[in-house]
Amino acid sequence: MTRTHRCLAAVAALAVAVTAAAATPVQPDAGPELFRGADVELGAKLIRENKCTQCHAQRVGGDGSAIYRPEGRINSPAKLRGMVEYCSTELKLSLFPEEVTAIAAALNRDHYHFK
Question: Each residue of 31-70: pLDDT tens digit?
Answer: 899 999 999 999 999 999 999 999 999 988 898 888 887 5
Q: Looking at the predicted structure, is the pLDDT value of residue 103 above 90?
A: yes
In a domain, 63, yes or no: yes
Reduce the DSSP state of residue 67 to 3 states and report it: helix
Residue type, 48: R
Provide the pLDDT confidence category of residue 95 given band limits of 50, 70 and 90.
very high
Q: How many domains does the chain contain in total?
A: 1
Residue 13 and residue 6 in contact, taking contact as beta carbons nearer than 8 Å: no
In a domain, 1, yes or no: no
- Look at 2-11, 66-75, 99-108 and tell me which has the smallest mean pLDDT: 2-11
- Give me the helices (H) in the chain, please: 3-23, 40-49, 52-60, 77-90, 97-107
Reduce the DSSP state of residue 75 to 3 states and report it: coil
Q: Looking at the predicted structure, is the pLDDT value of residue 74 above 60?
A: yes
- Long-range contacts, 90-96 (Cβ 8 Å, 24+): 91/50, 91/55, 93/50, 95/46
Q: Stretch 69-97: mean pLDDT, rounded?
A: 91
Task: In whole angstroms, give the CA distance from residue 55 to residue 38.
Answer: 24
pTM, to two decimals: 0.71
Sequence-separated (6 or more) residues with CB below 8 Å from residue 84: 95, 100, 103, 104, 107
- Look at 48-57, 71-80, 104-113 and tell me which has the smallest mean pLDDT: 71-80
In a domain, 33, yes or no: yes
Supply the range of the domain harboring residue 37: 29-112
In a domain, 92, yes or no: yes
Task: In whole angstroms, give the CA distance from residue 100 to residue 107.
Answer: 11
In a domain, 72, yes or no: yes
